Chain A
Amino acid sequence: MIRFENVTKVYKGDVVALRGASVDISKGEFVFLVGPSGSGKSTFIRLINRENIAEHGRIFVAGRDIGDLNSWKVPYLRRNIGYIFQDFKLLHKKTVWENVAFALEVIGKPRHVVRHQVSAIIDLVGLSHKQDRFPNELSGGEQQRVSIARAFVNRPLILLADEPTGNLDPKTSVEIMRLLERINDTGTTVVMATHDSSIVNRMRQRVVELNRGMITRDQARGVYQ
Chain B
Amino acid sequence: MLSYRYTLRETTQNLQRNLQLATATIITVGVSLTMFGGFSLFQTAVDGATKRWADGIEFVIWMNVDTTEEADKHIRRMLENSPEIADWHYKDQEETYKEFKEIVAGNEEILDIVEQEILPPSYRVAPIDNDVDIVQELGDQFKGQPGVRTVTFAGEAIRDIQDLAQRSGRVLFIGSVILLGASTLLILNTLAIAISNRQREIEIMRIVGATKWFIRLPFMLEGLVQGVLGAAIAMVSNMLLRTYVIDRFGQTDAIQLLSGFKVSDAALLRTNLTVLIIAVIVSVIGSGFAVTIYLDDDN
Question: Chain A interface (Cβ within 8 Å of chain B)?
Answer: 49-51, 71-72, 74-79, 83, 89, 91, 102-103, 105-108, 111, 150, 154
Interface membership of B3, Cβ < 8 A: yes
Given contacts A108-B2, A108-B214, could you give 19 more A-B pairs where the C-beta distance is less than 8 Å?
A71-B212, A71-B298, A72-B211, A72-B212, A75-B211, A76-B209, A78-B207, A79-B209, A83-B207, A89-B203, A91-B204, A102-B204, A106-B209, A107-B208, A107-B210, A108-B3, A150-B204, A150-B208, A154-B209
Interface membership of B1, Cβ < 8 A: yes
Question: Is B203 touching A75 in the complex (CB atoms < 8 A)?
Answer: no
Give Cα distance in the complex from A154 to B201, angstroms.
Answer: 17
Interface membership of B240, Cβ < 8 A: no
Question: Is B298 touching A103 in the complex (CB atoms < 8 A)?
Answer: no
Which residue, of B6, B204, B215, has the highest number of chain A Cβ atoms within 10 A? B204
Question: Is A75 touching B200 in the complex (CB atoms < 8 A)?
Answer: no
20 contacts between A and B (CB under 8 A): A71-B212, A75-B209, A75-B212, A78-B206, A78-B207, A78-B209, A83-B208, A89-B204, A91-B200, A102-B201, A102-B208, A103-B204, A103-B208, A105-B3, A105-B6, A108-B2, A111-B5, A150-B204, A154-B208, A154-B209
Give Cα distance in the complex from A74 to B214, angstroms.
Answer: 13
- Using CB atoms, name the residue of chain A closest to B198: A91
Which residue, of A49, A75, A83, A102, has the highest number of chain B Cβ atoms within 10 A? A75
**In the complex, which residues of chain B have a beta carbon less than 8 angstroms from the beta carbon of A102?**
201, 204, 208
Interface membership of B299, Cβ < 8 A: yes
- Using CB atoms, name the residue of chain B closest to A153: B208
Question: Is B3 touching A71 in the complex (CB atoms < 8 A)?
Answer: no
A85 to chain B minimum Cβ distance, whole angstroms, is: 9
A95 to chain B minimum Cβ distance, whole angstroms, is: 15
**In the complex, which residues of chain B have a beta carbon less than 8 angstroms from the beta carbon of A79?**
208-209
Which residues of B, 194-243, contact A by the 8 Å Cβ criterion? Answer: 200-201, 203-212, 214-215
- Using CB atoms, name the residue of chain A closest to B210: A106
Question: Is B298 touching A89 in the complex (CB atoms < 8 A)?
Answer: no
Question: Is A78 touching B208 in the complex (CB atoms < 8 A)?
Answer: yes
**In the complex, which residues of chain B have a beta carbon less than 8 angstroms from the beta carbon of A77?**
209
Check A89/B6 contact, CB under 8 A, given A50-B299, A107-B210: no
Which listed residue (A50, A71, A76, A106) contacts B214, Cβ 8 A? A106
Give Cα distance in the complex from A149 to B208, angstroms.
Answer: 12
Majority SS of interface residues in chain B?
helix
Question: Is B3 touching A89 in the complex (CB atoms < 8 A)?
Answer: no
Give Cα distance in the complex from A108 to B214, angstroms.
Answer: 9
B197 to chain A minimum Cβ distance, whole angstroms, is: 11
Which residue, of A74, A76, A106, A107, has the highest number of chain B Cβ atoms within 10 A? A106
**In the complex, which residues of chain A have a beta carbon less than 8 angstroms from the beta carbon of B205?**
106
- Using CB atoms, name the residue of chain B closest to A78: B209
**In the complex, which residues of chain B have a beta carbon less than 8 angstroms from the beta carbon of A71?**
212, 298-299
- Using CB atoms, name the residue of chain B closest to A105: B6
**In the complex, which residues of chain B have a beta carbon less than 8 angstroms from the beta carbon of A105?**
3, 6
Question: Is A75 touching B299 in the complex (CB atoms < 8 A)?
Answer: yes
A143 to chain B minimum Cβ distance, whole angstroms, is: 14
- Using CB atoms, name the residue of chain A closest to B207: A83
Give Cα distance in the complex from A145 to B205, angstroms.
Answer: 19
Which listed residue (B1, B203, B298) contacts A108, Cβ 8 A? B1
B18 to chain A minimum Cβ distance, whole angstroms, is: 15
- Using CB atoms, name the residue of chain A closest to B203: A89
**In the complex, which residues of chain A have a beta carbon less than 8 angstroms from the beta carbon of B211?**
72, 75
**In the complex, which residues of chain A have a beta carbon less than 8 angstroms from the beta carbon of B2?**
108
Give Cα distance in the complex from A91 to B198, angstroms.
Answer: 10
Binary flags per residue of B257-299, CB closer than 8 Å to A gives 1, else 0: 0000000000000000000000000000000000000000011
**In the complex, which residues of chain B have a beta carbon less than 8 angstroms from the beta carbon of A108?**
1-3, 214
Give Cα distance in the complex from A78 to B210, angstroms.
Answer: 9
Give Cα distance in the complex from A77 to B208, angstroms.
Answer: 9
B9 to chain A minimum Cβ distance, whole angstroms, is: 9
**In the complex, which residues of chain B have a beta carbon less than 8 angstroms from the beta carbon of A106?**
6, 204-205, 208-210, 214-215
**In the complex, which residues of chain B have a beta carbon less than 8 angstroms from the beta carbon of A107?**
208-210, 214
Which listed residue (A49, A76, A83, A91) contacts B201, Cβ 8 A? A91
Give Cα distance in the complex from A77 to B207, angstroms.
Answer: 10
- Using CB atoms, name the residue of chain A closest to B6: A105
Give Cα distance in the complex from A199 to B201, angstroms.
Answer: 31
**In the complex, which residues of chain A have a beta carbon less than 8 angstroms from the beta carbon of B210?**
75, 106-107
**In the complex, which residues of chain A have a beta carbon less than 8 angstroms from the beta carbon of B208?**
78-79, 83, 102-103, 106-107, 150, 154
Which residue, of B3, B208, B210, has the highest number of chain A Cβ atoms within 10 A? B208
Give Cα distance in the complex from A147 to B167, angstroms.
Answer: 64
- Using CB atoms, name the residue of chain A closest to B13: A93
